[in-house]
Amino acid sequence: MRADLIQPRNLWWGIRWLVLVAVLFVLPLSVYAQGGGDGQPIREVTDDEVNDISSRLYCPVCENVPLDVCGTAACARWRAQVRTLLEQGKSEDEVIDYFVTQFGQRVVGTPQDPLLNFLAWAVPAGAVIVGAGVVAYALQRWRERATSPALPEAAAEPQTPDDAYRARLERELREEK
Amino acid sequence: MTNTGTDVEAGDRQGAETAQAAPRRLSPLAIVIMVIVLALLGVLGLQLIEANRSQPTGGPAPDFTLQIFDALGGGTFTLSENRGKVIVINFWASWCAPCRDEAPALQQVWEAYRARGDVVLLGVDYVDNTQDALAYIAEFGITYPNGPDLGTRISDAYHIQGVPETFVIGKDGNVFQFIYAGVTARDLAAIIDRALAQ
Amino acid sequence: MLAELGIITSALALVAAWYAVVAGVVGALNRNDRWVRSARNAALLTFPLLTVASLTMVISQVNGDFQIEYVWATTERASDLFFKLTALWGGQAGSLLFWSWLMSLFAGGALLFNWRSERRLMPYVIAFTMGTLGFFLILTVLIENPFSRLWQYTNGEVVTAVFQPAGTFPAIPSDGRGLNPLLRHPGMVIHPPTLYLGYVGMTIPWAFAMAALASGELGVGWIRATRRWTLIAWLFLSLGLILGGRWAYDVLGWGGYWGWDPVENAALLPWLTGTAFLHSVMIQEKKGMLKVWNILLVIITFLLVILGTFSTRSGIVSSVHSFAQSPIGPPMFIFLGASALISVGLWLYRWQRGELAAEHHLESWLSREALFMLNNLLFMAITVAVFWGSYAPIFTELFMGEKITLGPPYFNSVVGPLLIVLYVLMGVAPLSAWGRTSVQRLGRAMVVPVVMTLALVVVAVFMGLREPAALFVIALIGFAGFVTAYEIWRGVRARAQRESWLLAAWRLFGRNRRRYGGYIIHLGIVVIGLGVVGSTGYQQETQRTLAEGEALTLGPYTMIYDALSRAVATDGRVMTIAQVEVYRDGHLVATLRPRQDYFPNAEGMNTMTIAGTYSTLENDFYVLLVAWEEISQAGATFKVYLNPLVNLVWGGGLILMLGTAVAAWPEPDRTRAARQVSAAEGKALEAR
């Protein structure tokens, strides 16, 4: 049982009934169209859950900083927004979609838009395939070339004394068996 | 030429000698490489220009459509459909302290010019929470149209560097004046008067 | 007074550098040795000039001469002496001066060491090194001059200018602004110099390659001359990357050390191509193959260095590291474009004329040449992936109007598999031979390491690791480690027939520095790999608000929050410190003090979060103080990470340094004799 939450929780129970009643009358006027601003909390949300989703989002203003790490006051407000949405029972995907609608594609670490997503993956994949093709082609051509008389440099690399010792040792070990 | 004497170099010279007779022709691969290099440089150069672009101070104002918060009447506002009016676009956010300083001034100006019908004051809410935005609007008693800058498209189009920033668009649809940072009621009124007189 | 000295010496260095470019080219084209000597002297002169310029800046910073705007921006009275001494690279203008100084040092060294042995390349080496230095000096002297000072008109208006405008008198602030708080950390102080050493170091092989292309001397001379430079530049790049990661881990407070940020990637890209280059030059030296590719590779490495610097300083990529938008963007772009066109142009010219041709034949798909080429392919694939990940947002923004972010999930899934294949390659390649290698021979050589890998997997399962994916990755990384260790052991054992083990190892490493240094570096990479897998794949975190005396648990550790305290440090920062006790199995293992520092005078980011960490080989228990309430009931909020094996990353880095030291250590005997022969030749040339 988390001691730090018992006190406010009692208060919450009392208020919630009142609010629930009020909401039933005001529902038609809700601004749900704005995207989750006015729903009511229906569950407890831990810091870890907020961080988990925030780690997949990026601060809309500071460049390239994940939302769970960003230290500015604005980011703290956005994390509070994540918490609010979670408390309303929204799923992870819904929270992420909300942020993308509000702030654009750049708040997620891989683009959600299918075309952009494809581009992001296709270019390196394409480059790897092309590169592999070029290398394979080159290797194949070099392999097929008639083996010319061994170039002088193949013998020019002197066997270091250690290589010679090692080769001799291994030969002797094998012969021993 | 003196020979530095290793066998690898002998191989090199052999190769070079046999190939020197080859005609000088650019292979397709070479052309592809050159094109790639030029294309990459081109993109970087374009991006450099784009990144250094700042707020427009003249010329046609970038068009946009803003969804108004329901609490302020709902609906949409499209800039190009409102030509002929003087439009004041104010970029703000609830987490921005200087915006709070100028909020009463903006509301004051709105109340002075609203009856005329040919002046529109528009608030564009930059990367903000709906909840916090509505609370801000309620706090300052704002009644002019405000809406969220969804996907930051409008702020990108106007190349803003922060909030608050204000643009006054003239009756001809061109940017009349750009005001960096906060503005006072008197200064804004003066600018609107000049734009109306155009 | 000092400022004028700095201005004059840096301006003279600018003149000397461009004179050297012109004189070097004139001398080369006319085969006139006097011009070349004159160019050399001008080039060597840049070093003492820039040393004086840099010293004047450092002295001004130590003395607190705040009329100089750069001194005002990077120091304050209350700074520690250490931070005043290192403030030279605390901001844009000074770091450009620092870069120029390093460039003049390296260019001078390259010229002096190779003057006789690579005489024919020298005129163009001078031209290209001094051309690069000249561009950086244009930036430093003419565009963002660090010696710019503050002047005041009688009406109170303050302006910044290098020379005193008419009608003004000196404006001397009473105190400086001080270094950005995030930079006030020893790791952050060492990180820029090591990176710059790496960047500047990579211009030397490029200059030699360009000299080879320009002069037509297309043998291995340029590679031999720059082999050690490349290795040392690579070492500094590696160090710079690791130190940057360590600083991020210690000071930025997000429990990690690498974020795939575009500016981080800008330093990684030349490292990747540089590593590929280090491997593929071996093919050229042993087999004469890949001449075309090697020159292109070193050109790409240099261009990535310039691109990285350009991206960081021009504002074209969004990054938390970027310097603010500055006027040096366009000139840097021009330099990047000019170097790209000249380098690739010269390379294509020689290539298309067939002057880079060589006999290529491949005896076996499993030969070391083939595997090294696969190594290059993989490194280039990773380079393309990281490049695209960093610059794709620019493409999409320009052509599709939509700004995207490509973050760690993207990079991890694209780069991860490629890295794993690289580890496999790192295991197989040392076992294959140059030339003919059969499957059987390779298989026989792999038996012992494979057995050891299987043993490792069994041990891992025994210790609780069950996921097949993790076991697979650990097995592959371990395989590479075992192959390397086995090769070292076999070599020592062979020698130990005649002498003691210790002496055998010493002599073995001494006689084969490159090979065994390389093996040690590979071991370091293996250790780093294990650390990365552990700390990235198995990181745990939790965040909770604790009242005093309350506990939280993460993994095997339990942490109890004791108390909050306040203190003010000597540089004026206000520290809020939370004391926590860490327990494991009921025993107190550490008392940590995570804190938040607030800098009342700083612009921009004015708080810093410093973690309290309990480090063991097994993991790091890493505690951050996130928020606190003054009222004791609500308590403080802590974010706690458990980072398994993260200390292997730093340890692996040390092993890597050791390996590079071994590989780069000057060689005695045989090779020195060879250099003396080519030096004698060079002398004979001069005497002509």
pLDDT digits (tens, 9 = 90+) for C428-482: 998 888 877 788 888 888 899 999 999 999 998 988 788 888 899 999 999 999 9
Confidence label for C688 from pLDDT (cuts 50, 70 and 90): very low
Give alpha helix (H) positions in chain B: 7-19, 28-51, 97-113, 130-140, 153-157, 185-197
**Chains contacting B (3 or more CB pairs within 8 Å):** A, C
Element (H, E) at C685: helix C669-687
Distance between alpha carbon C267 and the CA centroid of its chain, in Å? 6
- pLDDT band of residue C420 (cuts 50, 70, 90) is very high
With contact defined as beta carbons under 8 Å apart, do C237 and C267 qualify?
Answer: yes
Token pair in block for residue B26 = 């650019």
Where does the pLDDT of residue C675 fall: very low under 50, low under 70, confident under 90, or very high at 90 and above? low
Beta bridge partners of B60: B174
Residues 6+ apart with CB under 8 A from C644: C534, C535, C538, C539, C618, C619
Q: Is B86 helix (H, G, I), strand (E, B) or coil?
A: strand
Lowest mean pLDDT among A129-133, C46-50, C265-269: A129-133
DSSP label at residue B68? P
The overall average pLDDT reported for chain B is 83
What average pLDDT does the segment A32-48 reach?
A: 64
pLDDT band at C641 (very low <50, low <70, confident <90, very high): very high
Residue A170 pLDDT exceeds 80: no
Chains that touch A (3 or more CB pairs under 8 A): B, C
Q: Is the minimum CB–CB distance between B25 and chain C shorter than 8 Å?
A: yes
* Section C37-60 average pLDDT: 96
Q: How many CB atoms lie within 10 A of CB A174?
A: 8
Distance CA A112, CA A118 (A): 10
A104 touches chain B (CB under 8 A): yes
CA C57 – CA C553 distance, rounded (Å): 51
The runs of H, that is alpha helices, within C165-220 are 186-215
A65 or C279, greater pLDDT = C279
pLDDT at residue C108 in the model: 95
**What's the pTM value of the predicted model, to 2 decimals?**
0.86
Q: Are C162 and C245 in contact (CB under 8 A)?
A: no
The strand pair at C619-628 and C612-615 is best described as antiparallel
Element spanning C274, H or E: helix C262-287
C144-156 pLDDT, tens digit per residue, is 999 999 999 988 8
With CB atoms and an 8 Å threshold, state whether A128 touches C384: yes
Contact B7/A151, CB-based, under 8 Å?
yes
Q: What is the pLDDT of residue A34?
A: 41
Q: Higher confidence at residue C553 or residue B54?
A: C553
Provide the pLDDT for residue A35: 41
Select the residue of A48, A64, A68 nearest C318 (Cβ to Cβ). A64
Q: What are the residue ranges of helices labelled H in chain A?
A: 3-26, 47-54, 73-87, 92-103, 114-144, 152-156, 161-176
Cβ partners under 8 Å of residue C293, min gap 6: C280, C376
> Mean of the per-residue pLDDT values for chain A?
72
- Average pLDDT rounded to a whole number, residues A137-141: 82
Asked if A31 lies within 8 A of B150 by C-beta distance, the reply is no
pLDDT in tens, A120-133: 888 888 988 988 89
C536: pLDDT strictly greater than 50? yes
Query: Any idea what DSSP says for residue C249?
Result: I
CA-based nearest distance B37→chain C, Å: 8
What digits encode the pLDDT tens for the residues C87-140?
Answer: 999 888 999 999 999 999 999 999 998 898 888 899 999 999 999 999 999 999
Helices C186-215 and C221-247 meet at what angle, rounded to 10?
Answer: 160
Torsion of CA B70, B74, B80, B82, to 10 degrees: -110
Tell me the three state secondary structure of residue C497.
coil
Reported residue count of chain C is 688
Give the pLDDT confidence of C338-347 residue by residue, as tens digits.
Answer: 999 999 999 9
**B28 class by beta-carbon count within 10 Å (0-12 exposed, 13-18 middle, 19+ buried):** exposed
What's the pLDDT tens digit per position in C338-388? 999 999 999 999 988 888 777 677 778 888 888 998 999 999 999 999 999
Burial (CB < 10 A; 0-12, 13-18, 19+), residue C113, is middle
Q: What is the pLDDT of residue C34?
A: 94
Distance CA C636, CA C595 (A): 11
Q: What is the pLDDT of residues B42-83, one digit of tens each?
A: 999 998 888 778 888 888 999 999 999 988 888 999 998 888
- In angstroms, how far is CA C506 from the centroid of its own chain? 30
Q: Is C591 a residue whose pLDDT tops 50?
A: yes
* Average pLDDT of the residues in C212-219: 88
For residue C322, the distance in angstroms to the closest alpha carbon of chain A comes to 9
Q: Is the pLDDT of residue A139 over 60?
A: yes
Burial class of residue C444 in the structure, from the number of CB atoms within 10 Å of its CB (0-12 exposed, 13-18 middle, 19+ buried): exposed
Strands ordered across the beta sheet of C158-161: C158-161, C149-153, C168-170
The helix (H) or strand (E) run that includes residue C671 is helix C669-687
Residues of chain B above pLDDT 70, percent: 87
Interface test with C, best of B1, B2, B6 (most C CBs within 10 A): B6
Instruction: Give the residue with greater pLDDT, A97 vs C287.
Output: A97
Length of chain A as a residue count: 177
- Alpha-carbon distance of C153 to C169, in angstroms, equals 7
> Is residue C272 scored above 50 in pLDDT?
yes
* CA of residue B178 relative to chain centroid, distance: 13
Instruction: Out of A34, A101, A151, name the one closest to residue B69 (CB).
Output: A34
- B20 has a pLDDT exceeding 60: no
